[in-house]
Structures are given as C-alpha cells and as structure tokens.
Structure 1
Amino acid sequence: MRLRQIFVIGLALSLLGIGVPAWAQDDPKNCDDLMAADTPAYVVCRWMATPEEAADIARFWLDNDGEHLQEAGPLDPIVIDCTEPGNVCPTGEDGDGDGQPRDPGDPDVEDAEDGGTPECKEGESCYVNPAGLSQAEIAQAEKTAAGQAVQAAAKENLRIWINAELTGAWKDGKLDAAVRKLAALAVQPGVAGIRFTTQLGFDQTFKTADEIDTFVAETSTALRKLAPGKKLAVHTVVPVLGCGADEACKAEMTKKHPLSVPDRVGAWLSKGQIDQLALDSGLLATEYATWKIDAPTAQRNQWIQVRARAWDAYGQIASEDAGFAATGASKLTSEQATQAINDRIAVPLQTDAAETVTLWSRWKDERGQVSRTFGEKWATNATWDQLKKLTSVRPRLATVYDPANPEVDPATDMRNLAEVFGQVYVHAGA
C-alpha cells in the first residue's frame, strides 16, 4: 500500500516538472538562461513544482484522512497457477530452495537463526560468508572502535555507511588488505555501503585524471568482490558546477581544478563503479566572488547543472556541508539556524537534485580543536534544536562519526545523533 502511495504521489509530482519542454520564453518555470551557451538543445532546464503547487498536491492526497490514497489502492497481485498447462513452477534442485514447505519465520537452513550455514557434504565447497572472509576477520572487525560504533548505530536504527580513505593504500600497493578490513566491517547488520574516498580529484593526492579513474575502477572492483551487495560511494568537489553559464568563471575553475571535470565524475556513476556521489558545498560561499556569484546563486547553479546531467539516473546524489559546526559549538541563533537549514538543506532537496544531505556535526582538527553543531557533551543549543525539528526529512539527513574521537561514547553519541539523522557514516580510518 505504501509503495502504491509513493508511486501515485511521485507520478503527480513528475507531471509538474519532468518531460514538459520549457520552450516558451515567458514560462515562469524556464531556467534555460542558467545553462551554458554550448548546452545541447535536448537538455532542457525547468524548475520543479513551486511550494504552493507541492502543497496543493499533498493536500489533494492527504485531505479527509487520505481518502484519495485509499481509493488508489494497491495493484492486483500477479498470480501464476502452477497447475495450468504451460506454467512451470521450479522447486527443489530446479529452484532456489529445497522444495520443502516451511512455516512463516522458520529459517531457510538448519541453525540459520544462530548464524549457521548449510551442512556440507564431503568434498563439497560450502558458502560461508561474502568472498571467503573468515569468521576471525569478521570477529576482529566487530571488536574495533568502528565495529562497536556500527553496532551502536544499528541499535538506533540508523542506516550505516563505512567511511574510509583508500587512496593511500592504493598508492602503496596495499589495497587488498585495506579492502578486506572494510568488507569485514561492512557485513555487520545495518551497514548499507562503503564510502572509500573523499575530495577525490580536488585534493593533491593524484596527478592525472587517468590515475584517478584507475583508482576508482580497481577499488570498486575489489570492494564489489569482497562486499557484494553493498553500495559504494565517493565524495568530491566539482567547482566548475557553481559557475552556471558564466564562461569566464568556468574557464578559471577548469584551469584551477583540472581533475574535477564533470564528465569524468559522471562516468564513475554511469559505468556502475559507484552508487552514490557526494558533492561538497564548502566552496560555494567564497570561491565565486570574482564573478559576483553569491553562495545561493552558486548552489542553485550547481544543482541545476547536476540535474541537467541526469546523474541521478545512475546513482544517488548527496549534498555535503560542514557549515553548521563551529569551534566548540555552533554559534548560530534560532533565526540564523533556520535560514541555514533553508539554504543548505531545503534547497538541495527541493531542487530535486540531491536525495540526501550529509552534515558534519563534529570533528577534531590536527591541533586538537573540536568543532560541533551541538554543545559540549551534548548540551543543547539553537542550531541543534532547530535540526531536531526536521522530522519529515530525517531519513534524508546523514552525518559523519569518528569512533576514535567520541563526544561521550558510541552508545550515547548514536542515541543523540538519531534525534536528527537517519543515516551515519562511521569512519574506519585508512
């Protein structure tokens, strides 16, 4: 029923902004003026539904206790009659099971509820765990600080990502060992995926774009082998996206950051090497002043460019922001926090470019100074109070947690983080 509701609402929203060409120059939803002069004719820029239109749609479906949603109802199930001529219903050796009926809740194999595996016949190779990871490797990973943090996050029903930096291991020829450690962490309950690098192409780690592409390809292949079924993610900065249609800005940003090329970044998604791309917003407030592009305009430009490239057709796009935290604790007033939430959280989500927003809520720099969004030892403040109010988008909000530098302890920290965030990136080191 819920899937049906989401489908119906999504279809209605899509009719407002997808597939409707903005040919008319006087169309209030036309944003073609923000596209570069060399943009292909088939790329059309159009604003999505206005807040008023979105409210009308929500009201239509939710009024009278969701009368219209109930009327929509679920689709009729597809039923196959195995007794009809021509229909084949595999069982036993021909199917995925053993052909034996079981009651609801019964394990598929004996001792499966205790982590057991099917009994092996003599001379037969049995499936034990992903890619041959040993029980010792998994047990060792569970005992690490990151493993304990993962378990604490799972108890709070947070969606978990393992966060690591594998560029050093790759350059040192130690990628396989590093990947095994991450895979052993990733098999724990609640872990959705692994983010294996940050600021890719923006920092000075690599010298050429081909070197970056090789790193992504080889690391992705190794992780998919050792951690099958887990999502893979990278974080980067693509400064040229904030320029919009300003050619001088684009030329300078391309020259200044030659490895952060949109086409190459998009290829990681289209080739299936990653499943999530996180774009940082750290440069939006300062980098474009020369061209009189302020932070809101730079952010708008970035997300319009992302949407025009249809990256979300290949994977999930995330916005990443560290601007809510400050040394010691956030100093924002309630009004300032509300405005920051609108600019840095609402805008990426409302533009239908980013599906999630990752906020850095706490970190320690090399001098030992701690920056926080909340107060010390989880003392409340205006920023944290305002973030707690975002219950409707909580599943779309994520943060980064370093178990090597906890605020109190993993259990306490995760309990507090779960009041604001639905997802957490647990840092696991290199």
Structure 2
Amino acid sequence: MRQFFSGVTRREAQFTAVGVGLALVVCMPLLAKADPGMIRGNGPADPGAEKALDVQRGDSCRELLPDDTPTHVVCRWLTPPQDAAEVAAFWAADDGANLEAAEPLSPTAASTVRPSRSATTSSISSPVPTASPVESMPPDADPSPSTAERPSTEAIKAARAAGLRVWVESDLADDYLAGSTRFRASVDALAETARQPGVIGVKFADNLAYSGFTSSDDVETFVQQTTAALRQAVPGKRLAIGVVVPELGCGAATACVTAMRAKAPLVTKKLVEGYIQAAAVEQVYVSNGLFASAYRQHRLRDPKTGAQQPITPAVATRAQWLNIKALGWDTLAQVSSREYGLAHGGSTAPWDEAQATAQLDTRIGTVIGLGVPTVTLWGHHAVDGGRTYRLFDADLANNPMWSQLIRQKLRERLSVVFDPRSTEVGIRQDIAALGKVAGEIFIVV
C-alpha cells in the first residue's frame, strides 16, 4: 500500500477522498432502498411489536448479535449515511495527510473459540412441550427397513417424475445409541435406499444432540462413524445433517442465551460447530421456527427508541441467520434452513392473505434475503404428539400461504420433507402437488 500511495499526488488524494464521501452521502441511501432477494411485500410478522429498519438513518443490527461476534461482521452499512460526511472530512483534512499515511490493518487472531473435545454433560431430558410444531421437535421414530422399502421406492420414482431433486433421510442417532448391531443394520438399509436412481444425497441426523446424547465426544464419534460408513456404502452421494442451536435466536439478549444453553447444553453454538467439523458433510440444515414462546419471555433493546421489545419470531429468525453468517459456518459446509413454523394443525390454515404474507416474509423472505441458499419446509401431513400438521389444507386443498408460494415462484429455493407412510391423498398425488412449490424433496425412510 505504501508503494501505491507514493505514486498518488496530494491533490489526487484529496479528489479521491471527496469523491468517496459524496458517493457515500448521495448514493448509498438510494441503494439501500433496494433489498434484493426478499420476497415481495416483506414486512414484520408482528406489526405491533416490530418496525422496519430506517435506512436513511443507517440503522444497525448490532442488537441482534451477541457480544462475542467477530469485529469484522457488519450488519448493513460500512458507514451509515449520516456519518459519511465526517469520514470524507477526515480523509481530506490537511491536504489528504491521513490518506497518505494509511497502512493495512495488522493481522489479528481468529476470534471464534473452538469447542473443547472433552466437554461433557450429564443426561438430558427433552424440555420442549408438544403443544405445537413451533414449540416441539419432530418425532424420531423410524420404521424398520422392510416397512420403509416399498413406500420409499414409490416416492423416489414419483419425485423423479415430478422433476424434484431427491434426498433420502433418516435420523440414525437412536440407532447408534442402541448399539452397533442395530446401527449397522440401519446404515445398510439407508444406504440401500440411497442407491436407487435419482437420489443425490443422504441426510442422517436431525436436530443433532438436542436429546439422547450425554456427551459432545459421543456426538462427534457418531457423526464421524456414520459419515465414514456412508462414504463407503454410497460413494459420490452428498451427505447432510440437521442441527438446532436455540441460543442463536436470542441475539444480544444474554439472559435468553443463558436460558437456552441450560435448556439444551449439548447444542450450544460452540459445540455444534465442533459437530459440523467432525461430520465433514456437504450440507447442514439449521432448524428455524422453534422455541417461539421461550424467546418471547426475553427482551431486546430497540436500536431507535431504546425501548425493550420481545423476541418475536421475526426477530429470532433474523438474529439466528445473522449469527450464522458471523460464525462463518458456510466455510465448513453449505448451510440452509429447515423451517418448522409454517405448518398448521387441523384441517385448514389459520391465516388470511395478510397473515400468510407476514409469515412468509418472516420465515422465508428474511432467510433468503440474508443469503441462505434454500429453505426446507417441514410439516406435510406430519404427525407429532397425536396431532397432524399440514402445509396444505386437508386433501391437498390450497390455502393463502400455499397459493402465495406458488405465485412467488421460488421453486429452486424451496425443499419439502415427505414421509411416504403419511399422505393426504396418496404418494404420487401428494408429491405432484408439492412439486408445484418446491424443487427438492427429502423422503423419510
């Protein structure tokens, strides 16, 4: 940089600094009005509790990031518009002396602390009630290979006919904890299904370590052994895991972070990063849309008014994905969202057009707008706690949410989870209907 600036005259430096300042003052507020990647009509899911960012004032999102966020992470502005003139004046002062004296920043150590491989905890009980899909975790029960084989084969064929990218998935954690014999048989059965034509990948864990495991070492051993076995059994297939990290939705609310870590001590962000590294899979799906009532018990400061506001689903979603960007997990694998909050109980959806728009803006628009490549929708005729959850209405009838998804034409950004043993009408009919919105399907085996 010294060589570069030695060739720049003092007058050229002044013109450059003033030009940059004018660009920041005049152009950036205009550019900030466009928010590419968001679903049309994006707005808060809870208008009474949340307000849109004031782009003219350069609102920050620092209140959504915890204290240990790396300093290189910026939320919206390199320089807020109201500060741009002051920045330009600094560089132009004294005939550009500050600009001529500028040097590169000195290297700094990485600020992300790696998890200890010896971290352990006592046995964990599942603390989440089963009242609704946004509060509970999906069931882990897996059918025997002989029960799953025929429906899975039919579903794979139907998905290929509908032009869907096909994954197969099963949560092998319980099989691993049950012992080597059952684990080996389950891996072999999953691999056999994955060898069918058209299958591109295998997802072998969901909400990893939220329950069942008693130590982080055991979780890492599980993902390492499973990845190695599947690499050998189905070479060339993409591998994936699903994780849940409750504290990520807390933002900078330290009391919320503490409570979430106590609720699920084996899925803190540091430990989950260790699992992702140990697994060495191609894709990681982070659960979204859970713990809504737990988040609402905590407050974040509104950056404009200073008032305390509840952590609504919209706030939690944005905080989670800003935190994931800050953690840099996309350098370890492709990181996508698995959304649980759009499924409804009963025969018909509870939302009108406006409410459906708010839900989609919060749970899909915000996530895609923050650079997440895909969103997977859970809840197509999914039975949990004795209750059936749906994305459609009963018998594949459209509702305001599903109709909007069709109109938005986000097919290549959306995936769905499908259990061939639990359908609205039938395997082929259900998959054909799902294929109008999604370009990818995860078939539960």
What TM-score bracket applies, with the shorter chain setting the length? Answer: 0.5 to 0.7
Pairing partner for 1:154 from 131, 149, 160: 160
Instruction: Measure the CA separation in 2 of the matches of 1:142 and 1:290.
Output: 41
SS in 1 for 2:381: strand
The reply on whether 1:46 has 2:45 as its aligned counterpart is no
Residues 295-321 of structure 1, C-alpha deviation per residue, up to 9 Å, x if partnerless? 221111111110011111221212122
Could you say which residue in structure 1 is the equivalent of 2:435? 418
Pairing partner for 2:233 from 226, 229, 232: 226
When structure 1 is superposed on structure 2, of 267-276 and 193-202 the one drifting more is: 267-276
Q: Deviation at 1:153?
A: 0.2
Are the counterparts in 1 of residues 224 and 278 from structure 2 also a CA contact under 8 Å?
no
Q: Deviation at 1:47?
A: 2.9
Are the counterparts in 1 of residues 290 and 341 from structure 2 also a CA contact under 8 Å?
no
The reply on whether 1:308 has 2:337 as its aligned counterpart is no
Instruction: Measure the CA separation in 1 of the matches of 2:436 and 2:424.
Output: 15
Are the counterparts in 2 of residues 48 and 351 from structure 1 also a CA contact under 8 Å?
no
Task: Quickly say closer, same or farther: Cα 1:297–1:182, change in 2 above 3 A.
Answer: same
**Larger RCO: 1 or 2 (CA < 8 Å, sep 6+):** 2
Q: Which amino acid aligns with 1:351?
A: L
**What TM-score comes out, normalization by structure 2 length?**
0.65
SS in 1 for 2:294: coil
SS in 1 for 2:285: strand
SS in 1 for 2:265: coil
Alignment RMSD, CA only?
2.7
Residues 353-384 of structure 1, C-alpha deviation per residue, up to 9 Å, x if partnerless? x2111112423426654321212221222222
Residues 227-266 of structure 1 mapped to structure 2, 5 A cutoff: 227-266=234-273
Residues 80-95 of structure 1 mapped to structure 2, 5 A cutoff: none
Task: Quickly say closer, same or farther: Cα 1:48–1:141, change in 2 above 3 A.
Answer: farther
Q: Deviation at 1:272?
A: 5.3
Q: Which amino acid aligns with 2:358?
A: Q
Residues 19-73 of structure 1, C-alpha deviation per residue, up to 9 Å, x if partnerless? xxxxxxx9827544543333343x3223389xxxxxxxxxxxxxxxxxxxxxxxx
**What TM-score comes out, normalization by structure 1 length?**
0.67
Task: Quickly say closer, same or farther: Cα 1:142–1:363, change in 2 above 3 A.
Answer: closer
Instruction: Measure the CA separation in 2 of the matches of 1:333 and 1:388.
Output: 16
The reply on whether 1:387 has 2:405 as its aligned counterpart is yes
Q: Deviation at 1:347?
A: 0.4
Could you say which residue in structure 2 is the equivalent of 1:344? 363
**Percentage identity across paired residues of the two chains:** 32
Unaligned 5+ runs, structure 2: 1-31, 37-55, 79-145, 300-310
Task: Quickly say closer, same or farther: Cα 1:307–1:367, change in 2 above 3 A.
Answer: closer
SS in 1 for 2:293: coil
Instruction: Measure the CA separation in 2 of the matches of 1:159 and 1:184.
Output: 18
Q: Deviation at 1:216?
A: 1.0
Task: Quickly say closer, same or farther: Cα 1:28–1:280, change in 2 above 3 A.
Answer: same
Pairing partner for 2:58 from 28, 31, 52: 28
SS in 2 for 1:200: coil
Pairing partner for 2:222 from 215, 219, 223: 215
Pairing partner for 2:423 from 392, 406, 419: 406
Instruction: Measure the CA separation in 2 of the matches of 1:367 and 1:38.
Output: 37
The reply on whether 1:179 has 2:187 as its aligned counterpart is yes
When structure 1 is superposed on structure 2, of 253-262 and 30-39 the one drifting more is: 30-39
Could you say which residue in structure 2 is the equivalent of 1:169? 175
Instruction: Measure the CA separation in 1 of the matches of 2:366 and 2:173.
Output: 32
